[in-house]
Structure 1
């Protein structure tokens, strides 16, 4: 049985802009994004997306150089969160 969070996670995946690569084994990451969708909806910010990614990455690769506050990231690294922010906001608008 699929849960409501899994359905929201799948909706976010479907709302990703075309051509965006999704990390391998990212089901848990998208569940975190689903929580953002429910908690903040269209008000989700890029820093929220990055915080969720950082929490997930702590389990995947705890030494990753981008596990730090969003404000400490360079512009190029910050932009990597943008497609996921767009997808979360789009999914929130559909719900």
Structure 2
């Protein structure tokens, strides 16, 4: 049996474009994305996505060079958040 957040997380995963690599062991990350979807819907930003990823990365790994505010990331690194933000917005549009 899945709960509502797990269902939201599954919907977001289904909206990830083909060819985008999803991190291993990312169930918790997608639960955080589900909370973002419920809180912000299609207004979620890539900065929000990065903050969610940073929380997950802090919990799972503890250290990573991209654990800085979104605005301090190189543009190429910022772009890595776009497919996930787009997936959250697309899942919000399904409601």
Give the TM-score range, shorter chain. over 0.9
In structure 2, runs of 5+ residues without a counterpart are none
Deviates more, 1:40-49 or 1:57-66: 57-66
**Which residue of 2 is the match for residue 67 of structure 1?**
67
TM-score (norm 1): 0.98
- Please give the secondary structure, in 2, of the residue aligned with 1:80: helix
1:23 and 2:1 matched:
no
In structure 1, runs of 5+ residues without a counterpart are none
TM-score (norm 2): 0.98
Q: Distance in 2 between matches of 1:20 and 1:7?
A: 21
Count of residues paired in the alignment: 95
Deviations 1:53-92 (A, max 9, x none): 0000001221100011000000010000000000000000
After TM superposition, where is structure 1 displaced by more than 4 Å over at least 4 residues in a row?
none
Q: Distance in 2 between matches of 1:60 and 1:74?
A: 23
Q: Distance in 1 between matches of 2:66 and 2:77?
A: 8
